[in-house]
Amino acid sequence: MFKTKIRHSKRFQVIINTFLHNGFSHVLHRLGITDRISSKKENTTDVDINMQDIGVKLRRALQDLGPTFIKLGQIASSRHDLVPIEISKELAKLQDHVAPVSFEQIREIIEAELEDTIENTFLDFIEKPLATASIGQVHIAHLLTGEEVAVKIQRPDIQPIVKTDLSILQNLARFLEDNTAWGKTYNLTDIIDEFSRSLLDEMDYRVEGRNGERIAKQFQNESAIHIPTIYWDYSSEKVLTMEMIRGIKINDMDRLNSEGYDQNIIAKRVVDSMFTQVLKHGFFHGDPHPGNIYILPDNVVAYLDFGMVGRIDDELKYHFASLIINLQQGNTDGLLKTFSEMGLLSDETDLPSFKRDLDDLQTKYYDASLKDISLGGIFIELLSVAYHHNIRIPTEITILTKAILTLEGLISELDPTFSIMKAVEPFGKRLVAERFHPMYILKKSWHETMDNIDILFKLPKDLKDITSKIKKGKLQLDISFRQAEKVLNRIDRISNRLSLSIILLSFSILMVGLIIGSAIAGQTNLLWNFPIIELGSIVATLMFLFLIFSIFRSGRT
């Protein structure tokens, strides 16, 4: 414990000194992290607030601090709901290239992880790395069975450094959340916790391997998309052995042209495959930059490096599609409704001002041709509007926005006439259509009914707990009267729907009993000359249809 504190304090001092050296003493002082401003030049009210200049200084500081802060800066560059656009553009320039680790150290790591010598594991192993980064480096080798492989090895002693940095960042986030309105508004601790999980996953190469295999299953019947095979017998937490891809980097236009590749087909396959990942499967490559996409013979697209992935659930897929369609149609009210359904608007949100900014954004793209519209550019502007209104966008959307921006840069080189906005339109319309498909509505209705029944079963226990707290004087009420009527109406609808669901369930059980009883007894289904079972079935069906209709009409499908 004592050694850990010493290590943390030393590293924290290095971090502070790095930011001081890059001209952030005034910022650190204003945040309360340092007691004084180190430079007399900065001790003035005329502080340089040029955002681009701040971005350059911040990029240099993060670059100096190593892998954790480089990764943090790269992710922050996509958070246009948190970071001003001028700073995010600078952070996007952060490079993740460092000097290679010596082969002796690489040998030690491989042999410790795979529990055998390199000579017994590989037919040959090229000592010079193919690529290097702050977390690991890649070497080419051949397995004893002859397959050519790329072996990714984690740099030695990188985990303690990263874990120390993450611990410091978590403490800093708590401090800023407790002492600044900005930190509290954006829940900085949640953001850093999310970043920590993502980075620790990226440092476990087994997670990367499983991510690759999961995306490979999405295209198992698609010969135009290739995902490298993982060799699990030669992989571990710090070593990942995968199929070596020999292809052409997607931005090597000269070679693609000279060797006769069809860039139009490549552009369409890349875009279709990305939106298949995003809007069909909800699990996608989070960093599709040129170094991670290679082109194989017959215009086959190969994806590499699945350390960073994005996840988007069914609800978020629908909301993303709704945002795209409302942007295309210039429907500001639709955008506001989508933001509301995503739970992003609060009582503090200035809705008239937010609506005006959305109207201005819509006007900019009104009647514009789809081929002239950048989907990533629109979302950057949308995130910037959210930033000015203190609206925090889900991380999944920001990762997706970054991926789309990267993709648009690649596609514009492959085929300048290709419109990603137009390509995503069928995916979005299909999602919206699926949302209102009868089978989807039935499925959602069934789950909601089961949830309501579960609430009913738990109601006696909840009432008992509330009564107990009232008796002990421990019950606390926090009621917003501005929302009271809305809450009460919602509760009333839920209770009515619960009652109808229970009646329908009871009636169905009764009808089943009558059917089984009449079948066993061999008696007629007539009662006072009325076909009771047939009539009851019609009533049950009408009740069920009314329940479905009421849920559908409420807009909460």
Tens-place pLDDT, residues 392-417: 777 787 788 888 888 888 888 888 88
pLDDT for residue 154: 94
Q: Residue 412: which residues within 8 A CB-CB, separation 6 or more?
A: 418
Is the pLDDT score of 481 beyond 60? no
- In three-state secondary structure terms, 83 is coil
Average pLDDT over residues 301-322: 87
- Whole-angstrom CA distances from 282 to 201, 275, 483 are 19, 9, 34
Most confident of 227-231, 439-443, 484-488: 227-231
Instruction: Give the residue among 430, 438, 428 at the shortest CA–CA distance from 400.
Output: 428
Is the pLDDT score of 46 beyond 70? no
Q: How many CB atoms lie within 10 A of CB 307?
A: 25
Confidence category of residue 284, pLDDT binned at 50, 70, 90: very high
pLDDT for residue 114: 95
Higher pLDDT, 172 or 126: 126
DSSP 230: B
The helix (run of H) or strand (run of E) holding residue 490 is helix 481-521
Which residues does residue 300 pair with via DSSP β-bridges, in sequence order? 296
Active site residues: 287
Question: What predicted TM-score, i.e. pTM, was given to this entire model?
Answer: 0.70
- Main-chain phi, psi angles of 154, to 5 degrees: -75, 140
CA 17 to chain centre: 33
- In three-state secondary structure terms, 19 is helix
pLDDT for residue 482: 46
Average pLDDT over residues 414-435: 76
Rg (CA), the chain: 29
Q: For all residues of the chain together, what is the average pLDDT? A: 78
Is the pLDDT score of 386 beyond 70? yes
pLDDT for residue 239: 96
Residue type present at position 340 = S
Average pLDDT over residues 308-319: 85
Where do the structural domains in the chain lie, given as residue ranges? Answer: 97-219+228-244, 247-435, 440-553
